[in-house]
A and B are shown apart, each in its own frame.
Chain A
Amino acid sequence: MKKSFVLLISVFLLASFLVTGCSYGVASDNNYTTNTNSTNSSTDVPANTETKVSPDKIRIFYITSGLTIPDNFNYKNNFVLDELAKIANVEIEEAVVPPYSDYKTKFNLMMSSGNICDVVHIPAVNEVNSYGQSGAFVELTDIINGSDIMKKRYSIQFVELLKANDGKIYSLRSLPVDGDCNSFGVRYDLLESVGYTGMPTTMDEWLNAMRKVKAKYPDSIPYTSRENLHYCEFVFKSFGCASDGVSWQYYKGKVIPAFGNPLYKDALITYQTMLEEGLMDKEFVTSKAQDFQDKRLNKNVLINQQNLTALATWIDRFTSNGITTAMFIPGRYPKIEDDRIDPIAVFDGPPSIGAHCVAISSTSKKKDAAVRFLEALLSDECNNLTVWGREGIEYNVINGEKVSDYTKASESNWRLMYGMLFGLNTKEELELLAKTNIANTKFDNAGKEKYQKLFLEEAGKALADLNSVQMNPYNLIALDKDTVTRLTEAANEARTIAVKAMLNEISLTEFDAQAANFMEKYQFITDEYNAKLPEAQRKATMK
């Protein structure tokens, strides 16, 4: 009896082991993918009854770009993707969509598995070019030259900007956008509550505004960031320093490390003041992403670092979290008046070709279908669908002009993620997104009108600042793989020094010594940047 029992257990264990092993290898096993068996989403899905002759089946990998996606959303079948598939005469066999917080890891894992989707979308230029040079992606130069729509969208300068270090093109990248820039969101309602009737314009005025907010709301945190200094641009950029305080930057014709900026210490002193006075969150160094977002919602944070399009989506986040009095308006960097500042570092300059890459796998058996799909992503239909939606549903045409149905449009904001090659942040999209989200706030009509007017006016000013300087050539420099590895470690080291100085853990004299050591240690990175700068400047000024 005992023997049979033991035998039974061992057979069961062996069988379960074999079954587990045999279930590996099917791509759709990943829990974030949708496969051919998944159900349709709750949004309207037009019946694709008109099938052309054998549409090619392709698999696509793409990301959500941080947009809010409804529960039970169908990543493989929805009205946008169905239309794109129809245009391209393809059938989406599988859509692999990783969680946005972890997309790079999932992308790397997919690439190393060798089981690569036919079309891959990822905002990671260096990685795509590196994999492309290893043979993972199809070289696109001839394809671009042979495609009318690609030639229409990509000018000579853009084609030049698409090239990797070896002169080849491994992906199409998002077109430069005219509706986005690095900015920050201001809780205008808090400013009004402390007596302001307009935006502060200088750093001192902003500091005074923060003091007033703190005095009125003692529990508030007028300014916050989180551990990687990603949201510390407000002061660093205003002083013309590298936005994260630790990277290298373009400065008056050359590339320098952040610590080499003559106004860096002034920026540090401003942070020290803010921390001492309680205007900045002292716990920012241990704040994780979720803590940071919670504080932004609940702690009357006056200045919220974000790019313009993300600010427009945050309007909705305040509403959906019950903060109905929040009026969230873009701000302009209060550039310090000092001849030592290079305004390019403050305002960045017009964007170059974007970071969203769409590539075709070299192992794809349906390369022609993949090319057609890329062309569909560049089509006018795609642009219209992603920005406006469907005529008669998300928008109507009244007197020849498109008028958005904000309620319906806001239900399908996710469609923006399919505009990856148009850049997700055109002026048209920004305006529509802001108007849609403001329309859903709890303000009365007069309040909504004021909100809309303020938002678009201030966004316009921020965009004008952006375009007041030339394109920043720093963004066009690609370092060698080994240097990129060293750069990551250098950034960590710089961050430690910068944060310690901000929090007065080290004196400014000690900071000077450590910064000098740092710059000497990583001089080779500075040298490589400057060696590649002339080529980047040439690309930045191409017409």
Chain B
Amino acid sequence: MSNIKEHSTVIKHRSHLLKKSRDLPIYGLLLPGVLLVIIFHYIPLFGIIIAFKDYNPFAGIIRSEWVGLKNFEFFLMDENFWRVMRNTIEINIMQIVMGFPIPIIFAILLNELWSARLKKITQTISYLPYFISWVVAAGIITSVLSPSTGAINVFIKRFGIAPIHFLAKENYFRPIIIVTGIWKSFGMNAVYYIAAIAAIDTQLYEAAKIDGASKIRQIWHVTLPGIKTMAIVLLVLQVGTLVSIGFEQIFLLYNPLVYEVGDVISTYTYRLGIEQARYSLTTAIGFTQSIVNFILVYTTNRIAKSFAKWSLW
């Protein structure tokens, strides 16, 4: 009896090893990515200690003077920090509210196109802006919105309206940031939803049709539930960057007239970190951002679990 047990253990062990050896190429494929994450994301985590020191590149991290929470105190007591934080959060919330549904709607509409060729062409055109750098995009935007030669002002001047210097007006600046941000990214974001829609079983649509569901009903009852998981994942990830924001777009488009509403955490950090080499201070800011973002991701995930019965973890 014990021989049979031993024999079956050996067989299990061998088949386990056999499975592992069959999966070796897959692990090999995974290895560079894992190494990349470990080397560039986990190991640098030790550098967070710079936030608690007066970092001196010549003394090195270990020998730099320990200052405790002085760096945190510095930026938390700075009125400008709270202004840029407020701007960052407000712009991000507007981007989520306005930018989140657009790729979903676009993906659904694209899915309903009859012509496969037209679908491909539309999809390609929609994600082309994603590949244009912000330097080029900002140049285009500045030209189009120019009060003297921009297409929009040339058009409105024909109706007797005085030209508007859009980029220099506080009440236009944020909408411009949001609209151009959506224009640049919605095509690429829609790709995730298109993939999710493609994975929905077509029999569900047939069943719905048989039950007399109209197109809208099919979308509501089949498509949207089908992409719910993807939407939750992307929403959680987006909320997880609520206190961070891309640098290039704002840096290339903002100017003194719109600092009050357009200056954000990334431009603030750029001035302190790169222009003034205040590495400790900017590490402290980055660390704070990461903590806040983590709390937001965790909270959003819990909310998703409660309401949508699905979460990232």
Q: Which residues on the B side are within 8 Å of A285 (C-beta)?
A: 165, 168, 255-257
Contact (Cβ within 8 A) B165 A112: no
Q: Mark B1-45, 1 if CB is under 8 A from A, else 0.
A: 000000000000000000000101110111110011001000000
Chain B residues near A362: list those with CB within 8 A.
58
Count CB-based A-B contacts (< 8 Å).
113
Distance in angstroms between the alpha carbons of A294 and B157 in the assembled complex: 25
Q: Is the CB of A104 within 8 A of B28?
A: no
Q: How far is the CB of A369 from chain B (nearest CB, A)?
A: 21
Interface positions, chain B 62-95, Cβ under 8 Å from A, are 74, 78-80
A446 sits at the interface (CB 8 A): no
When each residue 21-41 of chain A gets 1 if its CB lies under 8 Å from chain B and 0 otherwise, what string results? 100000000000000000000
B278 at the interface (CB under 8 A from A): yes
Q: Which of B29, B79, B165, B256 contacts A495 (CB 8 A)?
A: B256
Q: Indicate whether A108 sits within 8 Å of B256 (C-beta atoms), given known contacts A136-B57, A285-B168.
A: no
Q: Quick check: B275 and A286 within 8 Å, CB to CB?
A: no
Which residues of A (476-521) have their CB < 8 Å from a CB of B? 481-482, 484-486, 488-489, 492-493, 495-496, 498-500, 503, 505, 521
B24 shortest CB reach to chain A, Å: 8
Given A17-B35, A17-B36, A496-B259, A135 and B56 contact (CB-CB distance below 8 Å):
yes
Measured in the bound complex, the distance between the Cα atoms of B116 and A223 in whole Å is 56
Tell me the complex Cα distance, A10–B279, Å: 37
* Cα(A135)–Cα(B60), bound, Å: 11
B274 on interface, CB distance cutoff 8 Å: yes
The reply to whether B279 and A112 contact each other, CB–CB distance below 8 Å, is yes
The interface residues of chain A lying within 8 Å CB-to-CB of B39 are: 21
- By beta carbon, the residue of chain A nearest B29 is A10
B272 within 8 A of A: yes
Q: Are A14 and B275 in contact (CB under 8 A)?
A: no
Query: B257 touches which one: A7, A135, A486, A496 (CB < 8 A)?
Result: A496
In the complex, given contacts A14-B28, A111-B277, A286-B146, what are 15 additional A-B residue pairs having Cβ atoms less than 8 angstroms apart? Answer: A3-B22, A10-B29, A10-B32, A17-B36, A105-B275, A112-B277, A134-B59, A285-B165, A285-B168, A286-B167, A288-B142, A495-B256, A496-B260, A499-B257, A505-B257
Residue positions of B touching A, CB distance < 8 A: 22, 24-26, 28-32, 35-36, 39, 56-59, 74, 78-80, 142, 146-148, 165, 167-168, 255-257, 259-260, 263, 271-272, 274-279, 281
A selection of 21 A-B contacts at a CB cut-off of 8 Å is: A7-B28, A10-B25, A13-B31, A13-B32, A16-B32, A104-B275, A111-B277, A114-B58, A131-B58, A282-B165, A285-B168, A285-B256, A484-B276, A485-B276, A485-B281, A486-B78, A492-B80, A492-B259, A493-B259, A495-B256, A500-B257
